[in-house]
A = this chain, B = another copy of it.
């Protein structure tokens, strides 16, 4: 991706965010680079070490809480518009990481957003929600030390949205989200409610809260930090912190994963055959011919297959480094690289689905679904 591109980045949580140059976000949006903090994190998460988590806002209070074992929370969630895939996996694993590090964990099912943004009625998103929560549990989320809820059923979140509305001008909403319909604005205020929920008295009052999200969600953080500040006197809110991960590349090289484009991603509920086919046909950073690739090497920086190893499927950092070198030098070709990935992915998916099935009833119970 050329650095010379003059196109301005738009971070749009409701639309298509294509980040061509993550470095530029530091300047454009005031997102801080995560790398300088890495050494201070007691037990840094794999995505932190590999630069997948590349930025943050105000991470210092979280770092302090991690070091001193003081109370803090992690808050993120999922829009229940479909089954788990590699994108939602990224956020879920980050939440679980912080929970395992000692944070009280909140995972919101953004079914109001699914309705307002994607027209998915609550009856339909409920089905996805049950599956999504079973996925989360299968990945290791501990519900005894956390709170999983649906926006549509969590009155405290809706009530915060109503209370916040008082101090939000139309100009603010337009500046952050552009001109959108009322439902999307309400949904954004509800997201602010999600993020500040862990700080209500019912959950032990004000505390540092980290929100690990894809960088496209940053507008919600900006709105929420502004509201936390405006309502500080009433609720004694601590301004929420955030970490930003890069968005995993689409399998087919397209700019954003989309249901309209089923070759751009796979879900964990697809058949092994379908997953295998999609990875086999994936776009890569390879060259037109094997000969050229042996000579020039591949380009891991633009390669979704490389991304999959780096984001999720190599346990050891040194494996990633080795693959980078092997690709760059032309020692490994895309075919064999994909073959190995398919085996790892199918093995993961098989194991994950087994655990997921074991957690479906628990998920229903948590969401109070009949």
State the A residues within 8 Å of B (CB): 112, 115-116, 119, 152, 155, 158-159, 161-170, 173, 179-187, 189-190
18 A–B contacts from the bound complex (CB under 8 Å): A116-B165, A155-B155, A155-B158, A158-B158, A162-B186, A162-B190, A165-B182, A165-B183, A166-B182, A166-B183, A167-B181, A169-B181, A169-B182, A170-B170, A170-B179, A170-B180, A173-B182, A182-B185
Question: Chain B residues with Cβ under 8 A from A185's Cβ?
Answer: 165, 170, 182, 185
Question: In whole angstroms, how far apart are the Cα atoms of A116 and B167 in the complex?
Answer: 9
CB distance from A207 to the nearest CB of B (A): 24
Question: In whole angstroms, how far apart are the Cα atoms of A182 and B173 in the complex?
Answer: 8
CB distance from A176 to the nearest CB of B (A): 12
Copies of this chain in the oligomer:
2
Question: Chain B residues with Cβ under 8 A from A116's Cβ?
Answer: 162, 165-166
Question: Chain B residues with Cβ under 8 A from A170's Cβ?
Answer: 170, 179-182, 185
What is the interface of chain A mostly: helix, strand, loop, or mixed? helix
Question: In whole angstroms, how far apart are the Cα atoms of A69 and B100 in the complex?
Answer: 64
Interchain CB contact under 8 A, A112 and B162: yes
Interchain CB contact under 8 A, B182 and A168: yes
Question: Chain B residues with Cβ under 8 A from A158's Cβ?
Answer: 155, 158, 162
Q: Which residue of B lies closest to A119 (CB)?
A: B166
CB distance from A234 to the nearest CB of B (A): 8
Question: In whole angstroms, how far apart are the Cα atoms of A169 and B181 in the complex?
Answer: 4
Query: Which 3 A/B pairs are nearest by Cβ-Cβ distance?
Result: A165-B183, A166-B183, A168-B182
Most buried by B among A158, A162, A187: A162
Interchain CB contact under 8 A, A181 and B152: no
Question: In whole angstroms, how far apart are the Cα atoms of A343 and B163 in the complex?
Answer: 44
Question: Chain B residues with Cβ under 8 A from A164's Cβ?
Answer: 182-183
10 new A-B contacts at CB < 8 Å, known A162-B186, A164-B182, A170-B182: A112-B162, A115-B162, A116-B162, A116-B165, A152-B162, A162-B183, A170-B170, A170-B179, A170-B181, A182-B189
Interchain CB contact under 8 A, A181 and B166: yes
Question: Chain B residues with Cβ under 8 A from A119's Cβ?
Answer: 166
CB distance from A227 to the nearest CB of B (A): 11
Interchain CB contact under 8 A, B168 and A183: yes
